A = this chain, B = another copy of it.
Amino acid sequence: MVLRKNLFDLPEGVIYLDGNSLGPLPRTAKARVADMIQDEWGGQLIKCWNSAGWMAQPSRVGDMVGRLIGAPVGTVVMGDTLSIKVYQALAAALRMRPNRKVILSDSGNFPTDLYIAQGLIQLLDSGYELRVVDPEDVAAAIDDLAHSAGAVPVDLAACACEFAVGCTYKYLNGGPGAPAFIYVRPDLADAVDPALAGWLGHGAPFAFDLDYRPAPGSERMRGGTPPVIQLTSLEAALEMWDGIDMHAVRAASLALQDVFIREVEARVPALRLASPRDASQRGSQVSFAFEHGYAAMQALIARGVIGDFRAPDIMRFGFTPLYLDEDDVCAAVDHIETVMRDRLWDDPAFMTRQRVT
């Protein structure tokens, strides 16, 4: 059983099928951030770097993330954004193999990976090439877990992957702008060049040496001052995963998806399944194509069913079983049926009102 609905502060009347963009608010995160601000920052000020454990927080929280992606203790650290961590992993991987000049990525990646690679290649200016191919043709040295940490089982220790990066504001519910994580395979961690040689990745930051000397292990991937408030929110959010088996999360998500697909196809034939019918090929989202998808999604959102829209015609729904159950899914389908039956997507007055607000 993975349902933890009572641990989330979900707005009344909302069925939230967009946890793949921004996870909802865990009740403990709100309280923990308030306490941290008042008692730690407010009450103990600068002492907190030691007394409240702020300095160790990026590694402590990294280990909590590590447990969810099969990464050994000490191999994951938190910090920066996913963009920066992609850059760091990519730059470090290039440094390890100076004679390899092709960066392979796939066109199915969120384009941030491609932008970052393009920027790095331009900066290096020494014959690197970015080759973008179809997703099925890639076996990359860097895995991007933005869309799987907290959603599907991942076992980094069992795979050959050298670096992995991901974000924590989706399925891990860390809050808007929660920091990213980076994993370095343990046998590489003492040799890897962190590229972004931040102060807190130094082996002895408080010696104030003029020369950079990386910390042992994955700690060297730390950058500047960690975002303590965001990390506090994330740390509270991660505690709810205690005792949750990621295989059970995956199974529960697929069960919700099956109900959703079956009910939509039975009751709303105008929507055409755009996701693979084979469950093993899906992540935790289900997409349906509909010509007036943008307007239909706006009508759904106005009724409290929050999914998202991707051009040209994709209505996308996410199934995160920590705070969604079968009743929610069936209620969402009721709303979809009403919107389509009553052609609520075809109400210009309604759409105008929506745009104004």
Contacts and interface: CB of A to CB of B under 8 A. Distances in A.
A185 interface: no
A308 interface: yes
A115 B48 CA distance: 25
Given A81-B224, A116-B197, A224-B83, A21 B46 contact: yes
Contact of A41 (B34, B116, B175): B175
Interface residues of A, number: 85
Contacts of A177: 225-231
A25 B37 contact: yes
A43 B83 contact: no
Q: How many copies, total?
A: 2
Contacts of A111: 199, 202, 208-210, 212
Contact of A107 (B95, B98, B210, B301): B210
A1 interface: no
A308 B50 CA distance: 14
Interface string A27-48: 0011001100110011111111
A124 B45 CA distance: 39
A290 to B, nearest CB: 19
B16 A224 contact: no
Nearest to A92: B123
Given A30-B38, A119-B195, A176-B225, 14 more contacts: A18-B45, A30-B37, A41-B176, A84-B198, A111-B199, A111-B202, A112-B199, A114-B210, A120-B197, A126-B126, A167-B225, A177-B229, A177-B230, A229-B229
29 contacts: A9-B38, A30-B37, A47-B306, A48-B176, A54-B176, A80-B80, A81-B223, A81-B225, A82-B224, A83-B198, A84-B84, A110-B208, A111-B199, A111-B202, A111-B208, A112-B199, A114-B210, A115-B198, A115-B199, A115-B212, A118-B211, A118-B212, A119-B196, A126-B126, A177-B226, A177-B230, A179-B227, A229-B229, A230-B230
